[in-house]
Amino acid sequence: MKRVLLGCFVLLFIAPAFSQRSIDVLHYKYEISLSDTTDNIYGIATIYFKANEPAEFLELDLTKINGIGKGMKITDLNTMEALDIRITASPLLIEYLHENDKVKIKLPKKLLPGENDTITIEYKGIPGDGLIISKNKYGNRTFFSDNWPNRAHNWIPCVDDPADKATVEFIITAPSHYQVISNGMQVEETNLFNNKKLTHYREDVPLPTKVMVIGVADFAVNNVGDVNCVPVSTWVYPENKKEGFYDYAIGKEILAWYINYIGPFPYKKLANVQSKTIFGGMENAGAIFYFENSVTGKREEEALIAHEIVHQWFGDMATEKSFAHLWLSEGFATYLTHVYLESKYGTDSLNSRMKADRETVIDFVNSSQKRVVDFSPDYMQLLNANSYQKGGWVLHMLRRQLGDSVFHKAIRQYYATYAGKNADSKDLQTIFETISGKNLNVFFDQWLHTPENPKLNITWKYQAKEKSVAITVEQLQNKIFEFPLEIAIGVTSAKKQIKKINVTKKVETFYFPVSSSSISISVDPNTSLLFQGTLAATK
């Protein structure tokens, strides 16, 4: 039966304004055909959704074919309502508009709150981004999706927003020599005619599109074993399988540590995959992609693997409401990587990494003057020291100020509260305030919403008559911060004593008794504060 489409520009342009949030996508089913002879992909997307409020339109993201022939063209569009009508009547015209990388579809009938419908879109094209079709380092053809932050719509129709989560299944038809990895569990693998193979994966945990994924390549696969009933596997290029199996096997140990520290793993499997991602690693849910040169046979990427595994909880399962709050993903992954390495290699490891991160943050903030919570429309620009290292430092200072026990309880509670949901920085603040019993408005405001950090000029002077040392702290930045600061005071014959002061003003002087004029002063001996500054003795 020929299906009839109508690109109804006039009707859609005069249609009443609507909010995408009036529609909630529940499930995506993508049937994708790949070939060794062309970069064209052929897709059938079936999208299941419900109305949260009265809805007449559905808007999806999908890149249109551009001037160099990259993008997607819709070849057919259907709804269940349309199919039902066709059984007993003439074909139903479905009005839609595809422009500016959006597909606006007028539903055959207005949906009332709670009502469901289904859209099926057939399309084809050459992905300009999002699905990387190329050759790997060994010259073999590969297909790797790379959706972050909102690049999924370059190859699949979807609501390409981290706040809209849905379950997903991928049914991939490709030449039979390929293996396929995707989200969820494999539910079918069938050899077809003409040397083709169908591979079907389904993920029943709702995901943001940024971590929906397929990888299609010639793989060597190693089943590493189970952690708390979660199968862990390694997928690498056959040419470096010995090295790759060794390098990625550490993921099992890392996964076990995080399950104990955070809580149950949110997905049914964990696959660590050598890939062509443009990033160092990409935290696709249950199927993490690493850059192809991460395989060396020397286990040089333990921190990277830990970082991406943390993301399975923070970023994938508990997701930021918008990319303005990206630090809730990247800051968590950065800091909890340090915490894992601290547990394995000791406190010196943590302090060393925090000092390095502090220098990175200082250099970035001094040159950019950007806030951590950043509403920039250029999401790629958010992959910066604010989101990663400063976000990690915010968590580190919370831990130092509130204590290990409160910190651990708070992040576990934050995850338990927002698993499967979306959160922003205020939501995290509320959790920490509830667990600690403290008002953290000043803390979160100054560290997340101020485009600078403390710049301190610290001087000290021995006072012979009083047998004391006077320590003056001057804040040089524009906004006055409030923070605890540790000062280590030592004399020639005694161990250094650590004094904690609370800095709240532009200039403050603090006095401490000492037993000798032969003293030494150091600032922040336990690496607990994000700051830059100078320390000098005065006469």
Q: Are strands 483-491 and 71-79 parallel, antiparallel or unpaired?
A: unpaired
Domain ranges of the chain: 5-218, 319-448, 455-537
Predicted confidence at residue 1, as pLDDT, reads: 23
Q: Report the topology of domain 5-218.
A: Immunoglobulin-like (2.60.40)
Which CATH code, of 1.10.10.370, 2.115.10.20, 1.10.390.10, 1.10.3720.10, is assigned to 319-448?
A: 1.10.390.10
Tokens coding 163: 């706040």
Question: Looking at residue 353, what is its pLDDT?
Answer: 99
Token digits for 238? Answer: 């056959």
For the stretch 342-372, pLDDT in tens is: 999 999 999 999 999 999 999 999 999 899 9
Looking at residue 11, its pLDDT comes to 35
Q: Are 398 and 391 in contact (CB under 8 A)?
A: no
Tokens of 474: 């001057």
pLDDT at 515: 85
Give me the CATH topology for the region 455-537.
Immunoglobulin-like (2.60.40)
By the 8 A CB rule, do 459 and 472 touch?
yes
Q: Which pLDDT does position 471 carry in this prediction? A: 98
What local confidence, expressed as pLDDT, does residue 79 receive? 67
pLDDT of residue 7: 42
- Please indicate whether the domains covering 5-218 and 319-448 agree at the CATH topology level: no
Q: Is residue 239 helix, strand or coil? A: helix
pLDDT digits (tens, 9 = 90+) for 316-329: 999 999 999 999 99
The predicted structure's pLDDT at residue 2: 25
Task: List, for the chain, all residue ranges whose pLDDT scores fall below the cut of 50.
Answer: 1-19, 81-91
The DSSP H or E segment spanning 26 is: strand 23-33
